[in-house]
Copies of this chain bind each other. A is one copy, B any other.
Amino acid sequence: VAADRRVASIRDVARRANVSISTVSRVISRKIPVDEETQARVRKAIKELKYKPNLVASGLRSKSAKSIGLLVPRISDPFFSSLIDHVDRTAISQGYNLLLFNTHSDPAFEEQVVDNLLRRHVDGIIFSMVSDESRAMELLTDVGVPVVMFDRVRPGSRHMNLVIDNRKAGEIAADHLLGLGHRSFACLTGPLTISLCADRLAGFSERLERSGHPLGTGGVLRGDFSFESGAAAAEMMLRSIHPPTAVWAQNDLMAAGLIKGLARTGVRVPEQVSVMGMDGLIVPEIVTPALTTITQPVEEMARRAVEMILEAKNTAVPPGEVVLQPRLMVRDSTTRCPNP
């Protein structure tokens, strides 16, 4: 049960230590020298009263509540939950806490959420947009706090951008599968209104074209990043006249669904069809066969995102755009083409 005990304030500490509240403030902030002896008195009082500075009050006055707003489209997506984890880690190491917002991959909800976030006067915003059509970005212009557009960005943004080279990811996937002798492909994409999906697809298909084995009709399967959409794609795929021998899914969850869907109709991976995914978090090792995938450097992404915000606060010239590199991770779900 919540007792309504009044909690000690800086005044109480000041009275107890026989100093002014500003002295107490100085002792805490350690920015301005305070006599050793009075310092000791103050610390004693703080301990005795179990005083904890009220960050709401200090946030109001100093205009920095030491918090970072993190907006993601889906909290429970393994990529984002891992991102949240790592962002939290770096943020807290710098004394910042996380205000978390789920936009539910819904543009309307996203606007509402951004509007809400703005009322909280966070020190910075890390934002992974729902899609290129998000009006939310406009709501974030000139808001007076650093904004890092994360993972999903739109060209011409006036914010900082942090992305991985998605086109490159597609190329890596294509190269890997071509190298295994495959000649007939499919790509299971996320919503193409998200530019990152379009970029990945572009890299993938251009590389294939250049090698003389373009993605044919039915070579583009549209999913929504969910396991279910991956499973559903399996049926679509098998219905086509020339079923591909190699598929790249734009995230691991869909790849896992695809494998499941294929297994359901008796198609074996990788013996009959090679499948690869993207992200590289938990899912690839859980799945059977273990998933060949393209990993994203989430930890580094998270760290850089927080750093960018802090740099923007402290330096005159904040970083504009940071691009990180995806990497191939070969496991068991891809193999040489069975019928070359």
Contacts and interface: CB of A to CB of B under 8 A. Distances in A.
Contact of A120 (B55, B119, B147, B281): B55
Contact of A2 (B57, B283, B285, B312): B312
Interface stretch (A16-24, A74-82, A185-193): A74-82
9 contacts: A1-B159, A54-B60, A74-B85, A76-B78, A76-B81, A92-B101, A92-B113, A97-B120, A260-B285
Interface of A: 1-7, 52-57, 59-60, 65, 67, 74-76, 78, 81-82, 84-85, 88-89, 92, 97-102, 113, 115-121, 142-147, 158-160, 227, 253, 256, 259-260, 263, 281-283, 285-288, 312-313, 318
Contacts of A147: 2
Residue among A55, A159, A260, A283 with the highest chain B CB neighbour number at 10 A: A55
B282 A263 contact: no
Contacts of A65: 56
A88 B103 CA distance: 10
Given A57-B60, A120-B55, A76 B282 contact: yes
